């Protein structure tokens, strides 16, 4: 279903509610209270948030949105806008080692303990399969030469370790655990890479309709480094000339919206080929609304 196929008065109400800074949950609740079926209410709110710029939508989704934002002004409410030196989470201090404003890219130190990295790798190892990419024309998950890693994923809250890491990430980025996709663990051997790409979905392409229906647009990525790579394997941002080198326990976070609240093409990024050794990472993508697979 497309946003434009909703009744005109419903479209207007959804736009107005988002403009006033209503949260995803408030809007879903209001529609249900007004008699809409739960599934339809949720889908309508997702469609509305997906039509908006992800950053504005993300703010609205967790209730931190100001009612208005002046056009062209830097967004004071973006995720991790403040860059403290250290974020004290419930179980671990997480250090901010580098922060770039536009696009918003933050490098964390100490996000994961070495033992957590090792445990993720050992849990993933027997489950690895060739990674796929979403075909934006058909919606199918295709094997593609642009992405030559192997990987697997863990259900949200699948075990104590996954739950602990997900809770920590939620604290650091101040987004609900429910907005996160399952953690993926990826393994790159020498020569393996993920060519530059965007993690957000182009809403104009038909094949993306299904992935967008599972919690709306993605708003941010966290790439967690699980081992030290001998050579190569950096996460590159070619549009800003940034190269993040993998270091066990560190993680790079980036949000896809520009200062104007639009999808930011400067977040083009890739995993450069491993030259020597191997590379293990865990990724988490954050959605504008609660993620539920179809």
Binding residues for Zn ion, rule: CB under 5 A, are 199
Query: Could you say whether residue 271 binds ligand PD2 (CB under 6 A)?
Result: yes
208 binds, among Zn ion, ligand PD2, none (CB under 5 to 8 A by kind): none
Q: Which residue has the tokens 């800074």?
A: 21
- Residue of the chain from 62, 199, 209, 259 that contacts ligand PD2 (CB under 6 A): 199
Which residues are bridge partners to 263 per DSSP? 257
Which residues are bridge partners to 108 per DSSP? 96, 251
Nearest distance, CB of residue 199 and Zn ion, angstroms:
4
Percent helix, strand, coil in the chain, to 5, is: 30, 25, 45
Size of the site for ligand PD2 (CB under 6 A): 9
107 binds, among Zn ion, ligand PD2, none (CB under 5 to 8 A by kind): none
User: Of 92-100, 136-144, 205-213, 264-272, which segment contacts ligand PD2 by CB under 6 A?
Assistant: 264-272
Tell me the H-state helices in the chain.
Answer: 8-19, 24-33, 38-51, 54-61, 114-124, 160-173, 209-212
Nearer Cβ to ligand PD2 (50/272): 272
Q: Which two tokens stand for residue 57?
A: 């939508």
The answer to whether the beta carbons of residues 214 and 291 sit under 8 Å apart is yes
Cα separation of 180 and 215, whole Å?
Answer: 9
Nearer Cβ to Zn ion (60/183): 183
The answer to whether the beta carbons of residues 50 and 58 sit under 8 Å apart is no
Nearest distance, CB of residue 223 and ligand PD2, angstroms:
5
- Residue of the chain from 14, 223, 226, 286 that contacts ligand PD2 (CB under 6 A): 223
271 binds, among Zn ion, ligand PD2, none (CB under 5 to 8 A by kind): ligand PD2
Distances from the Cα of 126 to the Cαs of 140, 149, 163, in angstroms? 25, 15, 20
3-state secondary structure of 93: strand
108 binds, among ligand PD2, Zn ion, none (CB under 5 to 8 A by kind): none
* Nearest residue to ligand PD2, scored by beta-carbon proximity: 271
Quick note: the x/- pattern for ligand PD2 over 230-249, rule CB under 6 A, is -----x--------------
List own/partner pairs for 94-97 with CB under 8 A and 24 or more apart: 94/168, 94/172, 97/250
- Residue of the chain from 42, 175, 269, 284 that contacts ligand PD2 (CB under 6 A): 269
């Amino acid at each position: 279903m497309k946003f434009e196929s909703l009744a005109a008065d419903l479209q207007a109400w959804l736009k107005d509610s988002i403009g006033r800074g209503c949260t995803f949950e408030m809007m879903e609740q209001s529609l249900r209270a007004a008699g809409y079926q739960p599934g339809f209410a949720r889908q309508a709110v997702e469609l509305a948030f997906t039509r908006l710029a992800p950053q504005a939508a993300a703010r609205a989704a967790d209730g931190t949105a100001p009612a208005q934002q002046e056009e062209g002004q830097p967004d004071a409410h973006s995720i991790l806008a403040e860059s403290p030196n250290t974020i004290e989470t419930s179980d671990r201090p997480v250090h901010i080692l580098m922060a770039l404003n536009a696009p918003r890219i933050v490098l964390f130190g100490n996000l994961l303990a070495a033992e957590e990295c090792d445990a993720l790798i050992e849990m993933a190892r027997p489950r690895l399969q060739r990674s796929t990419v979403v075909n934006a024309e058909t919606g199918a998950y295709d094997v593609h030469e642009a992405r030559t890693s192997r990987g697997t994923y863990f259900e949200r809250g699948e075990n104590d370790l996954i739950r602990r890491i997900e809770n920590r990430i939620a604290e650091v980025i101040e987004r609900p655990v429910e907005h996160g996709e399952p953690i993926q663990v990826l393994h790159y051997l020498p020569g393996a890479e993920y060519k530059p790409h965007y993690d957000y979905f182009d809403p104009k392409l038909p094949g993306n309709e299904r992935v967008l229906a599972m919690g709306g647009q993605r708003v941010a990525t966290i790439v967690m480094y699980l081992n030290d790579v001998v050579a190569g394997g950096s996460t590159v941002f070619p549009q800003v000339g940034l190269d993040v080198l993998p270091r066990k326990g560190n993680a790079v976070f980036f949000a896809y919206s520009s200062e104007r609240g639009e999808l930011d093409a400067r977040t083009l990024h890739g995993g450069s080929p491993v030259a020597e050794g191997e590379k293990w990472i865990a990724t988490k993508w954050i959605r504008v609304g609660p993620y539920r697979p179809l």
